[in-house]
């Protein structure tokens, strides 16, 4: 389970950093243009792309931090119920995930970007890329906790 927890955290860091790098290397690019296409999840009709349910992560996720942040945080914590191999598909893909309900798929890309922004602390892209993602899990959890606190405050 710890391995699955680390995998989810590492994936969030790597994908968040890739999105952040796209924004830094292409000044003027909007978050909506750098983040992947998303849509509202339907457990009864899981799809990798559902244009009829399309949403912009950059537009909808700020309003969903209080709701989705705790779901993600729970899966980053080490406990018997977290670190499942189902976590990656639930937060990165469009696979059926009943706990996700009618929320956006691929939300971890947006969360990853926000976490990288909080943890970059003036570091260059080269310095950020040299960081070992597995060592960042506690800092990522703290950043996520801060995001949730701000959203619910």
Q: Are 54 and 137 in contact (CB under 8 A)?
A: no
- 140 and 65 in contact (C-beta within 8 Å)? no
| Spatial distance between the Cα atoms of 66 and 41, rounded to a whole number of angstroms | 18
Render pLDDT for 75-124 as a digit per residue (tens, 0 to 9): 887 533 445 677 888 888 877 788 888 999 999 999 999 999 999 999 99
Q: Are 13 and 118 within 8 A, CB to CB?
A: no
pLDDT in tens, 113-130: 999 999 999 999 999 999
CA distances from residue 105 to 48, 55, 57, 99 in whole angstroms, order as listed: 9, 9, 9, 12
């Amino acid at each position: 389970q710890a391995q699955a927890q680390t995998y989810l955290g590492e994936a969030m860091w790597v994908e968040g950093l890739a999105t952040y790098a796209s924004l830094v290397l292409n000044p003027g690019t909007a978050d909506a243009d750098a983040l992947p296409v998303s849509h509202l999840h339907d457990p009864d009709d899981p799809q990798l792309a559902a244009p009829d349910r399309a949403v912009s992560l950059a537009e909808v996720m700020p309003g969903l931090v209080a709701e989705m942040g705790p779901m993600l945080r729970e899966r980053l914590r080490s406990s018997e119920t977290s670190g499942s191999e189902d976590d990656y598909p639930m937060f990165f893909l469009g696979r059926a995930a009943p706990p996700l309900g009618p929320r956006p798929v691929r939300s971890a890309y947006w969360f990853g970007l926000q976490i990288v922004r909080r943890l970059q602390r003036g570091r260059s892209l080269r310095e950020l890329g040299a960081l070992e993602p597995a060592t960042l899990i506690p800092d990522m959890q703290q950043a996520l906790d801060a995001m949730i606190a701000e959203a619910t405050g």
